[in-house]
Copies of this chain bind each other. A is one copy, B any other.
Amino acid sequence: MFKRIITPRMGDTDAMRHITNTALPVWFEIARNELIEIFNPDYELTYKKWNLMLVHMDFNFIRQCYFGYDVEIRTYVTKIGKSSFTVLHEAWQNGKLRSNGKATMVYYDFIRQESNVIPEDIRIKLKEHFIGPEELDEKNRVEMKNNKKVNELDYVESDY
C-alpha cells in the first residue's frame, strides 16, 4: 500500500462547504506517482519511454470530506492482468474512509499503439501492494471501529 498526504485547499471546497467531487480524481492521480515510478523509474515523458494508459476510473463518495484537515490517500493493487492492472484508492480523513475508487491502467506501447505483457519484475513489485476485497473491508471495519471520533465542523446544523 502506498500512502500520500493531501492538504485540501480552500478552492477544493464547493458551496456546500464540503470538498467538491472533482478534487478526488486529482488527488488519486497524485497517489499514482509511486506506481508510475515502478513502470517509469526516470519519469521520461516521451512516446518511446512512457508506457501507461488509463482506461477506466471510478469514484464512490461515502462520507463528506472537509477543508481544514489533511487527507490520507491509500493506494492498493487489486487486480493484475496480462497487460493491465487495477488499483484501488481510498481517501481517509480524521479516521474515516470518505471516498474510494478504482483506476485501471494498461501497459502500453505508444509508438506501436498496442498493449504489452507486463514484465515479471514489474509484476513482482505490483504484487507487494496487492490486497483482496474481503481482507480490505475487514481491515477498514476494524480500523474505523477503533479510531477515535474527531469533532469536525460539518456546518449543516448550525449554519444554513
- Residues of A at under 8 Å CB distance from B? 4, 7, 9-11, 13-17, 20-23, 25-26, 29-30, 32-33, 36, 42-48, 50, 53-61, 67-68, 110-111, 113, 153, 155-157, 159-160
- Contact partner of A22 (CB less than 8 A), chosen from B7, B15, B26, B33, is B26
**Contact of A110 with B22 in the complex, beta carbons under 8 Å:** no
14 A-B residue pairs with CB within 8 Å = A10-B36, A11-B20, A11-B23, A15-B67, A16-B45, A16-B50, A17-B45, A22-B25, A42-B68, A43-B68, A45-B68, A47-B155, A110-B156, A111-B160
Interfacial chain B residues near A23, Cβ < 8 Å: 11
**Contact of A10 with B29 in the complex, beta carbons under 8 Å:** yes
Interfacial chain B residues near A43, Cβ < 8 Å: 67-68, 153
**Contact of B33 with A7 in the complex, beta carbons under 8 Å:** yes
Closest to A47 in B: B160
Bound-state Cα–Cα, A46 to B33, Å: 25
Per assembly, the copies of the chain total 4
Known: A4-B7, A44-B68. 8 other contacts (CB 8 A): A7-B33, A13-B20, A15-B67, A16-B45, A16-B47, A21-B54, A45-B68, A111-B160
> Would you give the shortest CB distance from A114 to chain B, in whole angstroms?
12
Closest to A13 in B: B15
Interfacial chain B residues near A55, Cβ < 8 Å: 60-61
Bound-state Cα–Cα, A156 to B111, Å: 6
**Contact of B29 with A21 in the complex, beta carbons under 8 Å:** yes
**Contact of B57 with A59 in the complex, beta carbons under 8 Å:** yes
